[in-house]
Structure formats: structure tokens, C-alpha cells
Amino acid sequence: MAETTNRNVITRQQMKALGWMAGLLIGAMVILSAVNHRKGAAVKGVEVDIKPLPNGDLLMQPVDVREVIHKAFGYEFESRSVRTVEIDRLEHVLEKDPLVQNADVYIDARDVVRVSVTQREPVIRIIDKDGWNYYLDKNGRRMPLSKHFTARVVVATGKIPAYVPDYLQRKRHLLRHLFLLSQDLRNDPFMSAMIGQIFVSSNGDFILAPLIGDQKIVFGKYEDAQDKIQNLKIFYREAMPYEGWRKYRSIDVRFRGQVICK
């Protein structure tokens, strides 16, 4: 009697396992059928999302992204089969655009191609001695101006040498010093709000123009930069409120530990 019961238990376990296997097989077939059906479906549309820069700027619009896609592929994705959408190639094409930092593409459950774009972030606008006009992004790479929006960044003019791709590796390159100075100003909340322009003189000195007041700030070469910035901040916070913003024509911080005013 015990032996018969034992056999019945084993049989029930086997039947249960077979049931699970059958269920999994049916589920897999349903999923495979749905996937195959979806691959044959047509693209319902293309939706573009562009992440604003930290200050809210949009240097490009969805129409620009669509133009880049159309130029690269030569056709619209709408009504084409989902299986023809080359997601990797699409991301690569978008990331080659000089205003794009990163692009992520996927197809959602409604067969809509979703494109998410992260813009490159400009930190300084350069107008060099030859008249070339461009931005440097936060990594020091050159990027073009936007046809839609002017980024609110420091503008640098004057005797600025031509851009070369390896300028950041050249320790004495003036464009490298200019970029580093712009980073120092940008990373300091007080100076970031204070300085609107950097002029490069014929001897390579940097002259800063504040957004408030008419005076010029003679910064000199890019050396002891942090000390100069600190001295300038102390002067603005402690002396300027008492003397008035329009009293001085120039503020000179070229010399260590000194602020010389005229």
C-alpha cells in the first residue's frame, strides 16, 4: 500500500513539472509571435526630446535633429517597418553633430522611435584675431554657434590665436590659458555673475570687463590666477561698496598681494 502511494506522489510531481513546461512553452510562443508581429509593424512616428542645458538653454530644436536624421538616411522613418530602423547607426549619426554630446534611441511599445539628445555645454564664446567665432564646451572642445539661441557665457575677444585641436596639451598656448581662466571664473559663483567679457591684449595680458560698472580689470598673464581672483573678490566685497562702483577706471591685480586702482 505504501509503495502504491509513493508511486502516485511521483506521478503527480511529474505531471506538475510537465504542466509548467507546457505553460512556459506556450508563453514563449506567444512572446515570439508578438515580437515577430511587432517587427513587421510600421513606425508610427518619431519623438525628439532635447535636454536643456543647466541654465535652461536649448541650442538646438527637434526640427534640427530631424534634419540631421533625414540628411543621413535620406528618408522619413514614419510608415517604414520597425525592423528597418538602425538604432546604433542613428545614435552614431546624431553624436557626430557638433552640438550633441550624447544620443539615446529606442522604439517604444507603440512603435514610436524615441530620440533623447544631450547637448554639449558651451562655457566661453571666442572671437579670435582672424574673426572666427565659436564656443568652447566644458571639455575644451570647439563647437559652433547656435542658429536658435545665444548662450549666456563669457565672451573673449582680442589677440586670440587660431584654434588647434591639441591646444590643451600645449602648456604655453594662449588659448589654453584663456580656457583655464574661463573655467576658474565659471567655477566661482561670485566671479561667474560678475565678469562678462575677457579681452586679450597684444602682449597676451587678460583684461576683464565686469557686468556692473565701467572699469576694466587688468588681470595679466594666467599665473597665480587663484590669488588674483581671491584679491579681486575681497576688493569687490569690502572696498567697492564704500567707494562706489563708478569711482575707478581700472583695477590692476597683476602683482602678488596687491590691488592697484586708478
Q: What CA–CA distance (Å, rounded) separates 135 from 144?
A: 6
Residues linked to residue 206 through DSSP beta bridges, in sequence order:
200, 220
Q: What is the pLDDT of residue 14?
A: 61
Q: What is the pLDDT of residue 241?
A: 57
The sign one gets for the Cα dihedral 90, 92, 95, 97 is negative
Task: Determine how β-strand 216-220 pairs with β-strand 206-210.
Answer: antiparallel
Q: What is the pLDDT of residue 17?
A: 59
Per-residue pLDDT of the chain (262 residues; tens, 9 = 90+): 444 444 445 566 665 655 566 555 555 444 443 444 455 688 898 999 999 998 888 999 999 999 999 999 888 888 788 888 889 999 999 999 999 999 999 999 899 999 999 999 999 999 999 999 999 999 999 999 998 888 889 999 999 999 999 999 999 999 999 999 999 999 999 999 889 999 999 999 999 998 877 779 999 999 999 999 998 888 877 766 556 556 677 888 888 877 777 7
Q: What is the pLDDT of residue 170?
A: 93
pTM, two decimal places: 0.77
Name the nearest CA neighbour of 248 among 202, 204, 212, 195. 212
Q: What is the pLDDT of residue 67?
A: 92
What is the DSSP-derived secondary structure letter of residue 46? E
Amino acid identity of residue 254, one-letter, is: R
Per the structure block, which three cell numbers stand in for 108?
A: 517604444
Q: Which strands, in side-by-side order, build the sheet including 45-51?
A: 45-51, 112-119, 100-107
Q: What CA–CA distance (Å, rounded) separates 63 from 48?
A: 9
CA distances from 121 to 89, 97, 149, 245 (A): 24, 13, 13, 32
